[in-house]
Amino acid sequence: MTVRIAVLGASGYTGADLVRLALEHAEVEIVALSANAKAGQRIADVWPHFAMFPDLPRLVRAEDVDFAGLDVVFGCLPHAASAALLRDVRGPRIVDLSADFRLRNAAVYADWYGGVHPAPELLAGAVYGLTEFARAALPAARLVACPGCYPTAVLLGLLPLLQARLIAPERITVNALSGVSGAGRGLKEANLFAEVAEGVAPYAVGRHRHMPEIEQELGMAAGLPVTVSFTPHLVPMNRGELVTMIVETAAPLAALRTCLAERYVIEPFVHLLPDGVAPGTRMVRGSNHAVVNVFADRVPGRAIVVVAIDNLVKGSSGQALQNMNVMLGLPETAGLRQAPLFP
């Protein structure tokens, strides 16, 4: 079986990491790569680390992609641009990595993303692709919305506990740390090396766009509206994402551990660490794995849940490929078996 794919937006970090992983997937053939601003260039001009893959297709404009012969299209475009383009794609199934199809409510989208949704008619049919919690819906999906990187980490840590009613849906506090690739490859002074290195700071305090997505999914699990405190920080590293979450619970630590252990024992990519071992991003770098743990807090009635992922892999391109595998009935780990890179 050969799956013919296109990657739209191949000049961004998520697009590039999707190409990297697809190259390791025996069933995938990369048929087209688009990048409007760099159309006509070879991929190695844009991504020197692909210099040794001369057979990769040249970059083209998205409108020049022949969608007819494709099986799957991966959208790695900015929000709004993604929906505007994908709306008219016929034929291939779509795995979108933008924010455009994550929120079920177009009005919430408009509030947070600053504009009318380009294709609200597609929202109802989109599957929210947190793979471990979407397996039933993926095989029939025509359009999959991959979760944001922060929501992926948060939800992997909290969904089982919330579904089991072991933690309260109120007063959830999420502290999040991200590597700089999460900010994208766009030219912003704030992302220059000398601005970021040797320092750390929060950003978007009190108003980050991943909040409504987190709250939508936690709310569905809890069966009532959820509002979280969420504070992301930029950390001087390329990759990696870590969330440290304070939750209220009446359950003992052992019950929380058992819940997570039972939920994840069968999962190839989500791992509960041994008691007391703190998740770190170095444990998952470059891989599709997530590591999870839960700790007692000194404040009675509180627990601390920690999750680490690679923001570009499980938080983005790896999960996209994992979703494609499930959609197509391929082995879920195909193309994703590489071990983390350390150091």
C-beta of residue 122 within 8 angstroms of C-beta of residue 82 = no
String of DSSP letters for 239-300: S-EEEEEEEEBSS-HHHHHHHHHHHHTT-SSEEEPPTTPPP-GGGTTTSS-EEEEEEE-SST
Q: 80 or 242, CB closer to a copy of itself?
A: 242
Judged by CB under 8 A, which stretch of 28-36, 83-91, 93-101, 286-294 contacts a copy of itself? 286-294
Amino acid at 311: N
Q: Which of residues 193-252 bind a copy of itself (CB under 8 A)?
A: 193-203, 205-207, 211, 227-231, 233, 235-240, 242, 244, 246
- Cβ burial of 64 (10 Å; 0-12, 13-18, 19+) is exposed
Residue 157: alpha-carbon gap to chain centroid? 14
- The residues in 159-188 that bind a copy of itself, with binding defined as CB under 8 A, are 171, 173, 175, 177, 179-181, 185, 187-188
**Strand ordering across the sheet containing 143-145:** 59-60, 28-34, 3-8, 72-75, 93-96, 143-145, 127-128
CB of 73 to a copy of itself, least distance (A): 21
What's the CA gap between 29 and 274, in Å, rounded?
39
End-to-end CA distance of the chain: 35
DSSP state of 98: S
Taking CB under 8 A as the criterion, which residues in 49-68 touch a copy of itself? 49-53
| CB 174 to a copy of itself: min, Å | 10
The least CB distance from residue 295 to a copy of itself, in Å, is 5
User: What CA–CA distance (Å, rounded) separates 242 from 200?
Assistant: 14
Name the nearest CA neighbour of 94 among 136, 53, 142, 50.
Answer: 142
- Cα torsion at 89, 92, 97, 100 (round to 10°)? 40
Please, which residue, 143 or 247, has the CB nearer to a copy of itself? 247
Site residues for a copy of itself, 16-45, by CB under 8 A, read 16, 19-20, 23-24
Count residues binding a copy of itself (CB under 8 A).
89
Least distance between a copy of itself and beta carbon 212 (Å) = 10
The answer to whether residue 149 is catalytic is yes
Smallest gap, in angstroms, from Cβ of residue 276 to a copy of itself? 8
Give CA 297 to chain center in angstroms: 28
**Between residues 36 and 173, which has the closer beta carbon with respect to a copy of itself?**
173
User: CA-to-CA distance for 342 and 212, rounded, in angstroms?
Assistant: 34
Instruction: Identify which of residues 90 and 207 has a Cβ nearer to a copy of itself in the complex.
Output: 207
302 belongs to the binding site for a copy of itself (CB under 8 A): yes
The interface with a copy of itself within residues 304-323 (CB under 8 A) comprises 304, 306, 308
Interface with a copy of itself (CB under 8 A), residue from 41, 163, 191, 258: 191
279 binds a copy of itself (CB under 8 A): yes
Residue closer to a copy of itself, measured from CB, 116 or 205? 205
> 343 preceded by cis ω (within 30°)?
yes
Q: Does 157 bind a copy of itself (CB under 8 A)?
A: no
The residues, any chain, with a CB within 8 Å of residue 153's CB and separated by 6 or more, are 176, 241, 242, 243, 290, 307, 308, 309, 315
Of 10 and 127, which has the nearer Cβ to a copy of itself? 10
In this structure, the chain runs to a length of 343
Tell me how far, at minimum, the Cβ of 331 lies from a copy of itself, in Å: 14
CB 165, min distance to a copy of itself, A: 21
Closer to a copy of itself by Cβ: residue 116 or 197? 197
Catalytic residues: 149
